[in-house]
A and B are shown apart, each in its own frame.
Chain A
Amino acid sequence: MSMTRETILAVLEATARLRFGSVRTGELAPALDVLAADLAQVATTPLPPATEPDFSDDTEPGA
């Protein structure tokens, strides 16, 4: 997943505008900025081969 923080932030802002409108997207700017940094970290961290998702098949959603 080779996306820069700036690209990720643009994706988040575009999605937020579609879902919540321009005014609310402006209000969300600090949260989206923090999230973009975390997503960039997640996207650029190398993983061992064949790492499976976890914590998603043995949980109690809605419990």
Chain B
Amino acid sequence: MTTDDGIHRLSAVEAGSRIRTGALSPVTLLEACLRQIDRREPDVGAWVTLDRTGALETARRLDDEARHGKFRGALHGIPVGLKDIIHIAGLRTTAGARGFADTAPNRDATAVERLRAAGAVILGKLQTSEFATADPASTRNPWRLDRTPGGSSAGSAAAVAARMIPAALGSQTVGSTLRPAAFCGVVGFKPSYGSISRQGIIPVAWSLDHVGLFTRTVADAGMFFSVLTASTLKQHPGDSTQAPRIGLVGAPFADRADPVMRDHLAIIHTRLAGHGARIERLDLPEIVRALLAAVTVVMWAEVAAVHSELHAAHADQYRPKIRAAIEAGACIPAPFYLRAQQIRRAARQVLVPLLQRFDACLMPAAAGPAPDPATTGDPSFNAPWSGIGAPQIAVPTGLAADGLPLGLQLIGAPGAETRLLAAARWVEARIGFHETPPGV
């Protein structure tokens, strides 16, 4: 095979299948990914730490095991990158905060342990906004270098989009997985709150933090979800072939999207209906507006709590947006924080029965295509679902006139990942998004 044989473009499922049959070795796959990193990293800047030596050693061991018919699990030989708030034993965790965090943990996060146990090759750490909040990372969008890849999981989304790796882990407190996935034209999956362990991951706001997955296909997202939760996704009766029942989210989001996104949603909705999807408009109840406010209140209060000691000693080393969030959050009276949590609970009680009526609910994953890099974009389209801990998956569904990807999100009821992923696979298959950014 040549250096440009497209191995680095394989999905995780495809690569894993070839490794199982002996048609591809973990070392060959890793070397193809490293060559792609060498080609694209100078422009994109997705990585903080690239552990070439450690990854190659692991891949050689996995090669040897595969030749003897031994496979550790579903991810045997698959390279993976991790957002740099997730601890890897022996590699520094910076959390995107060059002013402070620069120590190397002595043990893996639980999610990393699970990846390794399933045979993944841990390749390194990916860029994040400072402490996974709002100050943009230096990473650039592979589709257009003058646009943001989104945040806070900027490097995770960009690396998967640029075909440097087939999959990456990120996180989402409000919109840090779905939004960058949409901006970068990849799949971004945030399972239900608590379904993937956050042990060994630097927190943003503990009652909102989720682990997120970046892949290029819905099937890959399901495979990683199974590994990380030690679950076996059951085949849903509607999996991929039976048209799903979809709730098309209207108020209060119908008018918030950019015109290009509104037009795109209308086109996709019509196409899905043409393929047989049973689509029903779903206006969300008024409490969703309060939920959006509650999510901000809870996040800022918990950010302030998480950072209280570090801020007391090093306030001037924080970047502006997170510093403002910490300090404003520290001023929130306790009764308001508790009432915000009550609103989340009340909203969950109202919204979950609505979500349960559908295989998935559909709405934009972001207001429009990726904006300029001064911000990481507006997370409000993702916020209510983070706020109630519901699973969400962003699927790339087209390109805007300027060549930037557009992504829609599907939302399910908490705990209903199997049903949601089946609907997402159906949508993915009918839309057929196969475009790639330059240089892949």
Q: Is the CB of A28 within 8 A of B328?
A: yes
Q: Is the CB of B331 within 8 A of A59?
A: no
> Would you call A23 an interface residue if the criterion is a C-beta within 8 Å of the partner chain's C-beta atoms?
no
Bound form: Cα–Cα A19–B330 in Å: 9
Q: Is the CB of A42 within 8 A of B343?
A: yes
In the complex, per-residue mask of A1-14: 1 if CB is within 8 Å of any chain B CB, else 0: 10000000001100
Interface size of B in residues (CB-CB distance below 8 Å): 44
Bound form: Cα–Cα A60–B343 in Å: 21
**Nearest residue in B to A14 (C-beta to C-beta)?**
B331
Q: Which residues of B contact A59 (CB under 8 A)?
A: 206-207
Q: Which residues of B contact A37 (CB under 8 A)?
A: 293
Bound form: Cα–Cα A20–B294 in Å: 24
> Would you call B100 an interface residue if the criterion is a C-beta within 8 Å of the partner chain's C-beta atoms?
no
Q: Is the CB of B344 within 8 A of A55?
A: yes
In the complex, per-residue mask of B327-342: 1 if CB is within 8 Å of any chain A CB, else 0: 1111111011011111
The binding surface of chain B is classed by DSSP as helix
From residue 190 to 240 of chain B, which have CB atoms closer than 8 A to chain A? Answer: 193-194, 197-201, 203, 206-208
Q: Is the CB of A32 within 8 A of B203?
A: no
**Nearest residue in B to A62 (C-beta to C-beta)?**
B203
Given contacts A11-B333, A41-B290, A45-B287, is CB(A61)–CB(B344) below 8 Å?
A: no
> Would you call B76 an interface residue if the criterion is a C-beta within 8 Å of the partner chain's C-beta atoms?
no
Q: Which residues of A contact B338 (CB under 8 A)?
A: 53
> Would you call B9 an interface residue if the criterion is a C-beta within 8 Å of the partner chain's C-beta atoms?
no
From residue 5 to 41 of chain A, which have CB atoms closer than 8 A to chain B? Answer: 11-12, 15-16, 19-20, 24, 27-28, 30-32, 34-35, 37-39, 41
Bound form: Cα–Cα A53–B297 in Å: 14
From residue 338 to 366 of chain B, which have CB atoms closer than 8 A to chain A? Answer: 338-346, 348-349
Q: Which residues of B contact A39 (CB under 8 A)?
A: 293, 297, 332, 336
From B194, B287, B345, A52 is in contact (CB under 8 Å) with B345
From A24, A28, A42, A51, B293 is in contact (CB under 8 Å) with A42
Q: Is the CB of B290 within 8 A of A45?
A: yes
Bound form: Cα–Cα A47–B350 in Å: 11
Bound form: Cα–Cα A52–B214 in Å: 34
Q: Which residues of B contact A20 (CB under 8 A)?
A: 327
Q: Which residues of A contact B336 (CB under 8 A)?
A: 1, 39, 42-43
Given contacts A31-B328, A41-B289, A63-B199, is CB(A55)–CB(B300) below 8 Å?
A: no
Q: Which residues of B contact A63 (CB under 8 A)?
A: 197-201, 203, 206
Q: Is the CB of B293 within 8 A of A41?
A: yes
Bound form: Cα–Cα A43–B335 in Å: 9
Bound form: Cα–Cα A60–B137 in Å: 26
Bound form: Cα–Cα A37–B340 in Å: 13
**Nearest residue in B to A38 (C-beta to C-beta)?**
B293
Given contacts A16-B328, A41-B289, A42-B294, is CB(A55)–CB(B203) below 8 Å?
A: no
Bound form: Cα–Cα A38–B299 in Å: 12
**Nearest residue in A to B298 (C-beta to C-beta)?**
A55
In the complex, per-residue mask of B277-297: 1 if CB is within 8 Å of any chain A CB, else 0: 000000000010110011011
* A33 smallest CB distance to B (angstroms): 10
Q: Is the CB of A42 within 8 A of B297?
A: yes
* B194 smallest CB distance to A (angstroms): 7
* B208 smallest CB distance to A (angstroms): 8
Bound form: Cα–Cα A53–B198 in Å: 21
> Would you call B422 an interface residue if the criterion is a C-beta within 8 Å of the partner chain's C-beta atoms?
no
* A52 smallest CB distance to B (angstroms): 6
Bound form: Cα–Cα A3–B333 in Å: 12
Bound form: Cα–Cα A58–B197 in Å: 12
29 contacts between A and B (CB under 8 A): A1-B335, A12-B332, A28-B327, A30-B324, A31-B325, A35-B329, A39-B297, A41-B290, A42-B290, A42-B339, A42-B343, A43-B339, A45-B287, A45-B293, A47-B339, A47-B342, A47-B343, A51-B342, A52-B345, A53-B342, A54-B341, A54-B344, A55-B341, A55-B389, A56-B207, A58-B194, A63-B198, A63-B199, A63-B200
Closest 8 CB pairs of A and B: A54-B345, A45-B290, A41-B293, A55-B207, A38-B293, A15-B331, A53-B341, A31-B324
Chain A residues within 8 Å of B, Cβ to Cβ: 1, 11-12, 15-16, 19-20, 24, 27-28, 30-32, 34-35, 37-39, 41-43, 45, 47-48, 51-56, 58-63
Q: A15-B330, A63-B200 are in contact. List 7 more A-B contacts (CB 8 A).
A: A16-B328, A42-B294, A42-B343, A45-B287, A48-B349, A56-B207, A63-B199
